[in-house]
């Protein structure tokens, strides 16, 4: 087996080292190519380019496999808890009992927000999208927690990571309560991470929030399913922002902004809106025809990496059934979703393009049943993904070969020309 590839340009040969990961495709190392040959590589959308080395998450899109630090996502969703997965992603290993107690204590210690932060929310309009509030509020954390901004200090990096994981539920719940015109609810540290979040979202002064173990478990599982996903658009945004030495609050705010896009985290809201638009099973054939005529995409379908079933979608579908059963909800949109999935999976248009349901297909129905408006769906995604973002940021920062990210381009604009005064133009 050769450990180098040879590239021929004109009459010259260039050796490209082949790097091997622990699993997955080998990688051609083109780092010296420009210096040696005066050529760039061209890969818009990074479809064939590894942007970094990582030990956190592995995806085999053809086989429908997702591993965090080696552990399959379905095992983590079934047997673990979100906070345990946070420890795993951030520190590399599942915690011992003692390590978990300490980690949980560290996170709960940081769940509160500076009292002045609450007045910060008042600056937003009540009808602002909660993702707009999240982007602004998370960016503003650096103005309140300036004692952990020194990225060169490992202790401060750790504190910022813990603060982000701990404060995201409090910020997300406040964004929700603010949009509903309800007072903010203070976190309770004796509750579990997910229970505390649900209480902060749904507790009102006039009525105590009643815990429901099935819903708490569903929330925790949804957080686990969204915790990390390798070098996707928002994670790459976080890494690129961080490559300049920017502090984590700024980098995570950048990640949230990227996540909001409808091709990424914004798809869960759009998937539910699509099911609402279809309305009934009778309308599916006409809607599917519209997709095939390229009038619109089937939201919650397709994935850049998965060309087989998204393993998270399977767990999400099961969780969806559990939640609806527990709440005794017979949601007609579930019927639409199930039939749409059946129709799409037997249609050559979708089969040929390897388009399968992704995690967003069933998450909207589940979250709606739990009482969240669709504007909150991407916020919940951002909350859960924060641990992935900060773990990837930490890994990037601790990599001694770290360089500021600086992609090159294929320039196709005007070549050099002389300035012409306005009286001589046209
Ligand atoms: N509906 C209909 N056709 C689709 C869909 C879809 N959802 N997704 C891809 N296609 C088609 C494309 O039109 C293209 O067809 P063509 O080859 O005939 O031109 C082919 O499938 C390949 O699609 P690409 O756009 O090249 O795939 P890419 O990897 O760039 O896009 C993406 C992946 C953005 C996720 C896309 O599938 C999509 O837009 N899906 C809908 C939005 C969605 O659900 N996003 C959530 C992603 S998961 C997440 O962020 C958690």
pLDDT tens for 251-288 read 999 999 999 998 888 888 889 999 999 999 999 999 99
**Mean per-residue pLDDT for 53-72?**
96
Contacts for 400 with CB less than 8 Å, ≥ 6 apart: none
Q: Ligand 1, closest atom to CA 259?
A: 50
Average pLDDT over residues 392-417: 96
What is the Cα–Cα distance from 185 to 197, expressed in whole angstroms? 10
Which whole number is the average pLDDT over 23-40?
97
List the residue whose alpha carbon is closest to atom 18 of ligand 1: 353
Q: How far is the CA of 301 from the centre of ligand 1 (A)?
A: 7
In the numeric block, which tokens belong to residue 106? 């560290």
Walk across the sheet containing 4-9 and list its strands. Answer: 4-9, 12-19, 27-28
According to the per-residue pLDDT averaged within each range, which of 6-20, 202-216, 323-337 is highest? Answer: 6-20
pLDDT exceeds cutoff 70 at 57: yes
- As a whole number of angstroms, the distance between CA 39 and CA 413 comes to 18
pLDDT of residue 339 exceeding 80:
yes
If pLDDT is split at 50, 70 and 90, which confidence band does 426 have?
A: confident
Which residue has the CA at smallest separation from atom 25 of ligand 1? Answer: 304
| Averaged pLDDT for residues 81-96 | 98
**Number of CB atoms found within 10 A of residue 5's CB:** 14
Task: Please provide the average confidence, as pLDDT, over all residues in the chain.
Answer: 95
At residue 156, does pLDDT exceed 70?
Answer: yes
Q: Are 52 and 397 in contact (CB under 8 A)?
A: no
Residue 265: the pLDDT is 84
pLDDT reported for residue 3: 93
95 exposure class (CB count in 10 Å sphere: 0-12, 13-18, 19+)? middle
Output the ligand 1 site: residues, CB below 6 A.
Answer: 263-265, 267, 291, 297-304, 353, 355, 358-360
Residue written as token pair 């020309």 = 417
Is 152's pLDDT higher than 70?
A: yes
Q: Is 18 helix (H, G, I), strand (E, B) or coil?
A: strand
Q: What is the pLDDT of residue 334?
A: 87
Residue 179 clears pLDDT 80, i.e. is over it: yes
Report the C-alpha gap between 55 and 294 in whole angstroms: 38
- Give the pLDDT score at 360: 87
In this prediction, residue 215 carries a pLDDT of 95
pTM given for the model: 0.92
Cα distance between residue 167 and residue 164, in whole Å = 5
Distance from the alpha carbon of residue 263 to the mean position of ligand 1, in angstroms: 8
Give nearest CA residue, ligand 1 atom 4: 297
Lowest mean pLDDT, pick from 20-24, 223-227, 261-265, 421-425: 261-265
Helices 213-225 and 82-91, axial angle in degrees (round to 10): 20
- The total of other beta-carbon atoms located within 10 Å of residue 394's CB is 22
pLDDT at 329 over 90: no
pLDDT tens for 359-370 read 888 898 899 999
Residue 52, pLDDT score: 96
Say whether 133 sits in a helix, a strand or coil: helix
In the block, tokens 């210690």 appear at: 109
The per-residue pLDDT for 183 is 95
Phi/psi-derived region of residue 230, left when phi > 0, alpha when psi is between -120 and 50, beta in every other case: left
Burial class (CB in 10 A: 0-12, 13-18, 19+), 242: buried
What residue owns the CA closest to ligand 1's atom 24? 304
3-class SS of residue 419: coil
Instruction: Tell whether the model's pLDDT for residue 335 goes beyond 70.
Output: yes
Report pLDDT digits (tens) over 190-207: 999 999 999 999 999 999
Centre of ligand 1 from the C-alpha of residue 408, in Å: 26
Dihedral over Cα of 134, 69, 195, 275: its sign: positive
Taking CB atoms within 8 Å and a gap of at least 24, the contacts of 117-124 are 117/144, 118/174, 118/184, 121/174, 121/175, 121/178, 121/184, 124/178
Residue whose CB lies within 8 A of the most ligand 1 atoms, among 302, 347, 348, for a mutation test: 302
**pLDDT tens, position by position, 280-315:** 999 999 999 999 999 999 999 999 888 888 899 999
Q: Are 186 and 201 in contact, with CB atoms under 8 Å apart?
A: no
Q: Is the pLDDT of residue 1 over 70?
A: no
DSSP labels, 258-301: HHTSTTTTTHHHHHHHHHHHH-SGGGHHHHHHHHHTTSS--TTB
| pLDDT 10s digits, 119-143 | 999 999 999 999 999 999 999 999 9
User: Residue 103 — pLDDT band, cuts 50, 70, 90?
Assistant: very high
Please check the confidence at residue 387 and state whether its pLDDT lies above 60.
yes
Alpha-carbon distance 349 to 298, whole Å?
A: 12
pLDDT category, 2, cuts 50, 70, 90? low
Question: 185 CA to middle of ligand 1, Å?
Answer: 39
94 CA to centre of ligand 1 in angstroms = 34
Q: What percent of the chain has pLDDT over 70?
A: 100
Q: What is the number of the ligand 1 atom nearest to the C-alpha of 304?
A: 29
pLDDT bracket for residue 212 (50, 70, 90): very high
Which pLDDT does position 97 carry in this prediction? 98
Catalytic positions: 303, 360
Overall average pLDDT of the 398-402 stretch = 92
State residue 153's pLDDT score.
Answer: 96
């Amino acid at each position: 087996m050769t450990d180098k590839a040879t590239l021929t340009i004109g009459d010259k040969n260039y050796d490209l080292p082949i790097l091997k990961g622990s699993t997955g495709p080998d990688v051609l190392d083109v780092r010296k190519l420009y210096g040696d040959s005066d050529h760039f590589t061209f890969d818009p959308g990074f479809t064939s380019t590894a942007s970094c080395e990582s030990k956190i998450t592995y995806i085999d899109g053809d086989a429908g496999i997702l591993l965090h630090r080696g552990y399959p996502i379905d095992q983590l969703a079934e047997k673990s808890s979100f906070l345990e997965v946070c420890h795993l992603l951030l520190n590399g290993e599942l915690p011992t009992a003692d390590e978990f107690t300490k980690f949980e204590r560290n996170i709960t210690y940081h769940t509160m927000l500076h009292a002045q932060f609450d007045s910060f929310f008042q600056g937003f309009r009540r009808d602002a999208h909660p993702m707009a509030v999240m982007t602004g509020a998370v960016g503003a954390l650096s103005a309140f927690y300036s004692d952990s901004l020194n990225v060169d200090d490992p202790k401060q990096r750790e504190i910022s990571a813990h603060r982000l994981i701990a404060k995201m539920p409090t910020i997300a719940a406040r964004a929700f309560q603010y949009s509903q015109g309800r007072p903010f609810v203070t976190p309770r540290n004796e509750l579990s991470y997910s229970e505390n979040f649900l209480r902060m979202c749904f507790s009102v002064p006039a009525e105590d929030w009643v815990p429901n173990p099935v819903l708490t478990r569903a929330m925790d599982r949804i957080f686990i399913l969204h915790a990390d996903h390798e070098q996707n658009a928002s994670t790459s945004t976080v890494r690129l922002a961080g490559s300049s030495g920017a502090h984590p609050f700024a980098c995570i705010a950048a990640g949230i902004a990227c996540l909001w896009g409808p091709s990424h985290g914004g798809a869960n809201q759009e998937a539910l809106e699509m099911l609402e638009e279809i309305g009934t099973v009778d309308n599916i054939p006409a809607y599917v025809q519209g997709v095939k005529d390229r009038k619109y995409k089937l939201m919650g379908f397709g994935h850049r990496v998965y060309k087989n079933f998204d393993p998270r979608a399977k767990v999400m579908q099961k969780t969806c059934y559990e939640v609806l059963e527990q709440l005794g909800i017979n949601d007609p949109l579930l019927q639409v979703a199930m039939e749409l999935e059946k129709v799409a999976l037997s249609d050559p248009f979708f089969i040929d393009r390897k388009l399968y349901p992704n995690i967003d297909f069933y998450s909207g129905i589940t979250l709606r049943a739990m009482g969240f408006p669709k504007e909150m769906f991407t916020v919940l995604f951002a909350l859960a993904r924060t641990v992935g973002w900060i773990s990837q940021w930490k890994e990037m920062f601790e990599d001694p070969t770290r360089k500021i990210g600086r992609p090159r381009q294929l320039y196709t604009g005007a070549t050099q020309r002389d300035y012409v005064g306005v009286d001589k133009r046209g």
